[in-house]
């Protein structure tokens, strides 16, 4: 690429950086603050140190423009609530008494007041707190946090760019406050909100901001003409203000589609676009729109939410094309680096050859700087980096890890019939009834039982070498014994072994599958102070040995009742891992499905006649754009059916999903062809049962009658009442009785009492039939 057109130096930037600190200092400080062990001032000092550390690191690596305001004690959407003064009525006293404690009260609730609801940030595994708005919401600008953090970065002599959640996305993420009609549309508050944003922008300009970034990821979803009009109005309004910094409207996670012309026409100085994955369609769209003349384009060419080394040559190609289409092109990650771990160099256990394939936040920063240099000075200036990158990509492309001929041959040979049970449900159900001999309204649980302190100690002891594997397994067995005998006493019909051996339902399997990598320090914020370490689907997947059979077999040896085998499904394995980007997800899902299929078949061969394959992530992985959903659902349901399709007709396949709103995937749930599905329903009062019935769902279902998200024990009458409601939608021959989800986060006392009540409720309602 010749770089003549790039005479104006490109700038390197990012939209945000992980907030946790190098050793998760923020998590520790916040949790200590909650326990009263550190003061607010100490917490604030830790936070300031982390921010300064991040900025120095970014600037030191060559990032020209650093983000500010992306830091958060808990969540950036909650910070936005504070910035616009949208404090729910029930939290106002707490916020007035202490801004910090009130902030945490909104995030986590207190004894007396409920927190804001939490939900997933687009299709990532980050969770934000949902703003609650109503016709009476009064906004008021509070720019203190943004202005203070901008000041800190300026004081370090840096070029900061405050990052804010944009007004349209903020409203689109909000929901009607409690007591407000569900028909209320928060977007109707736009005209009230814009002056508040304008005031914050003016404050930031007065404080020294040249540019401010407004994040509008909601515009990469399918939007109605009214919503697109609102976006146009918002930026026409903000753009027309004179006392403002330059505006960069950033979008990410997908292509802008119909929102692209809207933003291209808006009187803002810059647009940030994602050019990775499906969002690469933005490239043609920008060209088709005749470019973004007069605007600064921040090109997100480095994938901000996956962990693979960038293809620098390919990115330079895209950047070169973009140079002709905008006034000025700068280089960034596609989204905030919040979604990736900090530094792959910390992973001492990963083979150095493979480690080179990975790029965490720090390595991505380096890639952005290299690309910026290449864009400004030409490829000659980064010849060494390009050569090294080509070698890394070649090593990954040709590695035996990414190309296992046996796995590939098996996946290629899969036929339609492999992904189908040998008999239709009607025949299977008769065979299963005969084999299992269960009563009407059979009772069961979702799989996990309370993860006790003893279990956590046992795991810690094993890691620290205080006990050996055999000693650890003895403790797990003791736990299984206890779980089985409790379930027998309580009178449950289909038992579980309790999942004592798993600390995490994805990690446990990832560790035993070939082709998966685990990280030691790869923490990513899930919500608040909770972080997860997603494993990495790095190569072709196979299962060298059975993973769960001995635990289930041991549990079965302790009882004459059926014990469910328990597996995590292929879609959820992908959803909660970093996924390969060198082949379609459908191919990766198929490999994982085949490995799990072996486990299902081995469980059956060992005598397990009920096997549950959990897919709690089926719905959350739904692509943001409706046009992409059929293809996703096709491979997702195929992967599930491939996992479960090899069993005999009399082996009963269960699945479990934990969400109450599943209208958009009810057909896919049907397509899984599982014999029994358990679903969350207690909090939605059996709405799920009605939706299943309305769809004509033909198989068995267990809408939860015990809300495991709360320590509350449901009474027999309450559970029986829910069952009676369930029976109005699902006939007794097809209705199961179970909790909403697994019990691993619950304590034993409430678990015991709740399950006893659940069994009593089933008996009561059975007697009425």
Active site residues: 709
Identity of the residue, 50 or 743, whose beta carbon is nearer to ligand GLN in the bound complex: 743
Instruction: Pick from 305, 362, 543, 744 the residue near ligand GLN by CB under 6 A.
Output: 744
Instruction: Give 526's Cβ-side CA count (13 Å radius).
Output: 9
| Count of Cβ atoms closer than 10 Å to residue 749 Cβ | 11
Instruction: Pick from 393, 741, 760, 761 the residue near Zn ion by CB under 5 A.
Output: 741
Site membership for Zn ion, residue 611 (CB under 5 A): no
Strands of the sheet with 700-703, listed across from one edge: 564-568, 610-614, 652-657, 676-679, 700-703
**Alpha carbon 618 to chain centroid, angstroms:** 11
Longest dimension (CA), the chain: 84
Q: How far is the CB of 414 from Zn ion (least distance, A)?
A: 28
Identity of the residue, 193 or 658, whose beta carbon is nearer to Zn ion in the bound complex: 658
* Sheet strands (E) in 608-744: 610-614, 652-657, 676-679, 700-703
Asked if residue 662 lies in contact with residue 681, where contact means CB atoms within 8 angstroms, the answer is no
Q: How far is the CB of 656 from Zn ion (least distance, A)?
A: 6
Asked if residue 12 lies in contact with residue 331, where contact means CB atoms within 8 angstroms, the answer is yes
Instruction: Give 534's Cβ-side CA count (13 Å radius).
Output: 26
Q: How far is the CB of 708 from ligand GLN (least distance, A)?
A: 9
Q: How far is the CB of 258 from ligand GLN (least distance, A)?
A: 35
Instruction: Pick from 158, 302, 505, 660 the residue near ligand GLN by CB under 6 A.
Output: 505
Identity of the residue, 376 or 568, whose beta carbon is nearer to ligand GLN in the bound complex: 568
By C-alpha distance, which of 26, 518, 10, 17 is closest to 304? Answer: 17
566 binding partner (options ligand GLN, Zn ion, none; Cβ < 5 to 8 Å by kind)? ligand GLN
Site string (555-584) toward ligand GLN, x via CB under 6 A: -----------x------------------
| Count of Cβ atoms closer than 10 Å to residue 188 Cβ | 12
Identity of the residue, 161 or 744, whose beta carbon is nearer to ligand GLN in the bound complex: 744
Sign for the pseudo-dihedral over CA of 163, 168, 170, 173 = negative
Residue with the shortest CB distance to ligand GLN: 742
Identity of the residue, 201 or 611, whose beta carbon is nearer to ligand GLN in the bound complex: 611
Which residues touch 594 (CB under 8 Å, ≥6 apart)? 407, 410, 411, 414, 541, 642
Instruction: Pick from 69, 162, 245, 447 the residue near ligand GLN by CB under 6 A.
Output: 447
**Alpha carbon 715 to chain centroid, angstroms:** 33
Site for Zn ion in 83-142 (CB under 5 A): none
Which residues touch 625 (CB under 8 Å, ≥6 apart)? 220, 221, 222, 254, 255, 257, 278
Binding piece for ligand GLN, criterion CB under 6 A, among 305-313, 409-417, 446-454, 751-759: 446-454
The helix (H) or strand (E) run that includes residue 302 is strand 292-302
**Alpha carbon 644 to chain centroid, angstroms:** 25
Identity of the residue, 186 or 616, whose beta carbon is nearer to Zn ion in the bound complex: 616
448 binding partner (options Zn ion, ligand GLN, none; Cβ < 5 to 8 Å by kind)? ligand GLN
Instruction: Pick from 546, 616, 645, 649 the residue near ligand GLN by CB under 6 A.
Output: 616
# chain residues binding Zn ion, by CB under 5 A: 3
Q: How far is the CB of 3 from ligand GLN (least distance, A)?
A: 50
719 binding partner (options Zn ion, ligand GLN, none; Cβ < 5 to 8 Å by kind)? none
Identity of the residue, 38 or 618, whose beta carbon is nearer to Zn ion in the bound complex: 618
By C-alpha distance, which of 262, 344, 332 is closest to 296? Answer: 332
Q: What is the rounded CA–CA span in Å between residue 719 and residue 722?
A: 5
Residue 132: strand pairing partners:
175
Identity of the residue, 218 or 617, whose beta carbon is nearer to ligand GLN in the bound complex: 617
Instruction: Pick from 50, 285, 446, 492 the residue near ligand GLN by CB under 6 A.
Output: 446
# chain residues binding ligand GLN, by CB under 6 A: 13
Asked if residue 295 lies in contact with residue 326, where contact means CB atoms within 8 angstroms, the answer is yes
Which residues touch 447 (CB under 8 Å, ≥6 apart)? 496, 498, 499, 564, 566, 612, 614, 656, 742
Residue with the shortest CB distance to Zn ion: 658
Q: How far is the CB of 753 from ligand GLN (least distance, A)?
A: 19
Identity of the residue, 75 or 707, whose beta carbon is nearer to Zn ion in the bound complex: 707
Instruction: Pick from 320, 546, 562, 742 the residue near ligand GLN by CB under 6 A.
Output: 742
Site string (656-675) toward ligand GLN, x via CB under 6 A: x-x-----------------
Instruction: Pick from 189, 219, 262, 658 the residue near Zn ion by CB under 5 A.
Output: 658
Tokens at 330, concatenated: 């700068």
Q: What is the rounded CA–CA span in Å between residue 502 and residue 498?
A: 9
Chain residues in the site for ligand GLN (CB under 6 A):
446-448, 499, 505, 566, 614, 616, 656, 658, 741-742, 744
Task: Give the residues lining the site for Zn ion (CB under 5 A).
Answer: 616, 658, 741
């Amino acid at each position: 690429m010749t770089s003549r057109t790039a005479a104006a130096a490109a700038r390197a930037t990012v939209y945000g950086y992980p907030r946790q600190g190098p050793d998760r200092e923020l998590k520790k400080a916040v949790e200590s603050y909650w326990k009263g062990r550190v003061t607010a001032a100490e917490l604030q000092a830790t936070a300031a140190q982390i921010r300064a550390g991040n900025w120095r690191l970014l600037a030191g690596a060559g990032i020209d423009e650093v983000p500010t305001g992306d830091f958060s004690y808990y969540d950036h959407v909650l910070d936005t609530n504070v910035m616009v003064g949208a404090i729910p009525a029930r939290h106002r006293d707490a916020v007035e008494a202490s801004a910090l404690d009130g902030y945490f009260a909104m995030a986590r609730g207190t004894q007396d007041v409920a927190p804001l609801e939490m939900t997933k940030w687009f299709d990532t595994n980050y969770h934000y707190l949902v703003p609650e708005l109503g016709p009476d919401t009064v906004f008021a600008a509070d720019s203190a946090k943004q202005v203070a953090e901008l000041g800190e970065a300026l004081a370090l002599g840096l070029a900061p760019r405050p990052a804010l959640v944009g007004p349209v996305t903020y409203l689109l993420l909000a929901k009607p406050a409690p007591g407000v009609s569900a028909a209320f549309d928060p977007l109707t508050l736009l005209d009230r909100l814009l002056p508040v944003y304008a005031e914050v922008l003016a404050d930031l300009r007065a404080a020294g901001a040249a540019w401010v970034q407004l994040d509008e990821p909601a515009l990469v979803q399918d939007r109605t003409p009214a919503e697109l009009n609102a976006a146009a109005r918002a930026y026409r309004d903000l753009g027309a203000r004179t006392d403002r910094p330059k505006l960069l409207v950033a979008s990410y996670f997908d292509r802008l589609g119909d929102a692209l012309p809207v933003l291209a026409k808006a009187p803002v100085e810059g647009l940030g676009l994602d050019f990775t994955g499906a969002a690469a369609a933005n490239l043609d769209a920008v060209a088709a729109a005749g470019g973004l003349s007069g605007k600064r384009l921040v090109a997100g060419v480095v994938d901000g939410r996956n962990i693979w080394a960038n293809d620098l040559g390919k990115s330079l190609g895209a950047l070169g094309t973009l140079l002709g289409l905008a006034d000025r092109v700068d280089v960034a990650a596609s989204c905030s680096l919040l979604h990736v771990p900090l530094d792959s160099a910390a992973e001492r256990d990963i083979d150095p050859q493979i480690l080179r394939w990975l790029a965490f936040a720090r390595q991505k920063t380096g890639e952005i700087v290299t690309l910026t240099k290449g864009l400004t000075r030409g490829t000659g200036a980064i010849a060494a980096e390009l050569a090294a990158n080509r070698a890394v990509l070649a090593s990954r492309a040709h590695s035996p890890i990414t190309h296992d001929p046996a796995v590939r041959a098996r996946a290629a040979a899969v036929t339609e019939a492999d992904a189908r049970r040998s008999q239709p449900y009607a025949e299977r159900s008769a065979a299963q009834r005969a084999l299992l001999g269960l009563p009407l309204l059979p009772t069961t649980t979702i799989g996990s039982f309370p993860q006790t302190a003893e279990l956590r100690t046992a795991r810690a002891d094993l890691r620290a070498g205080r006990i050996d594997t055999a000693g650890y397994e003895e403790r797990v067995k003791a736990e299984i014994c206890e779980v089985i005998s409790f379930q027998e006493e309580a009178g449950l019909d289909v038992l579980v072994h309790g999942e004592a051996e798993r600390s995490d339902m994805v990690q446990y399997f990832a560790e035993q599958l070939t082709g998966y990598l685990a990280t030691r320090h790869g923490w990513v914020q899930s919500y608040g102070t909770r972080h997860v370490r997603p494993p990495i689907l790095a190569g072709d997947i196979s299962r060298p040995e059975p993973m769960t059979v001995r635990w289930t077999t041991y549990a079965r040896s302790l009882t004459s009742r059926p014990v469910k085998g328990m597996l995590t499904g292929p879609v959820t394995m992908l959803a909660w891992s970093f996924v390969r980007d060198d082949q379609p997800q459908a191919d990766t899902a198929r490999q994982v499905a085949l490995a799990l299929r072996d486990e299902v078949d081995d469980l059956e061969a060992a005598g397990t006649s009920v096997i549950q394959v959990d897919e709690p992530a089926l719905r959350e992985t739904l692509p943001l754009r409706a046009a992409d959903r059929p293809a996703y659902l096709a491979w997702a349901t195929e992967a599930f059916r491939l996992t479960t399709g090899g069993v005999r007709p009399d082996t009963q396949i269960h699945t479990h999903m934990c969400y109450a709103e599943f209208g958009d995937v009810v057909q896919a749930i049907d397509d899984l062809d599982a014999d029994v599905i358990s679903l969350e329903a207690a909090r939605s009062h059996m709405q799920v049962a009605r939706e299943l019935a309305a769809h004509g769902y033909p198989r068995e279902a267990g809408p939860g009658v015990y809300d495991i998200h709360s320590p509350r024990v449901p009474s027999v009458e309450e559970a029986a009442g829910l069952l009676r409601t369930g029976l109005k939608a699902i006939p007794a021959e097809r209705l199961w009785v179970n909790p909403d989800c697994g019990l691993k986060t619950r304590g034993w006392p409430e678990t015991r009492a709740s399950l006893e009540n659940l069994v009593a409720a089933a008996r009561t309602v059975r007697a009425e039939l």
